[in-house]
Chains A and B, each alone.
Chain A
Amino acid sequence: MKSAVITFPGSNCDRDMAVALEQASGVKPVMLWHRETEIPAGIDLIAVPGGFSYGDYLRSGAMASRSPIMAAVKEAAARGTYVLGVCNGFQVLTESGLLPGALMRNAGIHFVCRDVALTVENNQSAFTSLYQQGEQVVFPVAHHDGNYVADDAVLDRLEGEGRVAFRYAESVNGSARNIAGVLSDKSNVLGMMPHPERAVEAAHGNVDGVRMFKGLVEGLMATA
């Protein structure tokens, strides 16, 4: 599996993401700066990492979603390329319109930085195929704007179409229906606030994230 990781000014999980992807695939990801205008040929997965792109100016993810590289990411996603957005990456994906809804300030105001339990709500995507349906996993979260908001019609549609990939097992940030991660209509785009790339080594104290990256490698090798 060939992957690319986007770096915006203010990204801070881009290298963690690259390490997790290389560990799972054996191939070093291509690092793409936000000013790039093209995704190199043959890329199977684009990762939009966490951080504080553009200092969270205007709204989290707002400036990054209008940067040159995101036009290329949108085109690639429309062609079926897989896209994983984590934390600020999830905010960038909702701001760019690749995923529905928006991420607002946490309902409790506080920045939340801790391990949280999540339920795997859909294990039929390439991102979640190595998890059991309904399994509980633990990923770290670290965000101020993780409160997922969408109107009831959108939420009902997401639930009905199995597009809620992960749900918090407890209230973490006020997210509607405790949604932690959502899939696009074709299931090739996943956005989530928790950090699977921070749970891939024994030294992290938790390896629940490994199966996401291994699953992507297996799934995308099979389709290539």
Chain B
Amino acid sequence: MKTRVFVTLKGGVLDPQGKAIHHALEGLGFSGINDVRAGKLIELDLADGTSDEDIDAMCSKLLANTVIENYRIEKIG
């Protein structure tokens, strides 16, 4: 069972990497970029029947630091 976990910085948290990417895109001549936020995509290949609770615990215990990050779980079968 393939599952994707998207980890993103919480709204109010400054994202220095996003800012640098933003700056670099503008340096390449792209315009109209309002904001850039960088995050992580973690792909898990899980045994069938892995419970939602376990997947959520994987996220909250390790994959995301919930002090500064949010996570979203997407099952792709």
Chain B: how many interface residues by the 8 Å CB criterion?
12
Q: How many A residues touch the partner, as a band?
A: 10 to 19
Assuming A101-B67, A102-B68, A104-B68, is B16 touching A147 (CB within 8 A)?
yes
**Of all chain B residues, which has the CB nearest A104?**
B68
List 17 additional contacts besides A106-B16, A149-B67; criterion CB under 8 Å. A59-B65, A62-B65, A66-B62, A94-B67, A100-B67, A101-B67, A102-B65, A104-B16, A105-B17, A107-B14, A109-B17, A147-B16, A149-B13, A149-B14, A149-B68, A174-B14, A174-B16
Type the 1/0 row for B5-21, where 1 means its CB is closer than 8 Å to any CB of A.
00000000110110110
- Which A97-155 residues have C-beta < 8 A from chain B? 100-102, 104-109, 147, 149-150
Residues of A within 8 A of B62 (CB): 58, 62, 66
List the interface of chain B (C-beta within 8 A of A): 13-14, 16-17, 19-20, 61-63, 65, 67-68
List the interface of chain A (C-beta within 8 A of B): 58-59, 62, 66, 94-95, 100-102, 104-109, 147, 149-150, 174
Give the Cβ gap from A65 to chain B, nearest Cβ, in Å. 9
Give the Cβ gap from A9 to chain B, nearest Cβ, in Å. 17
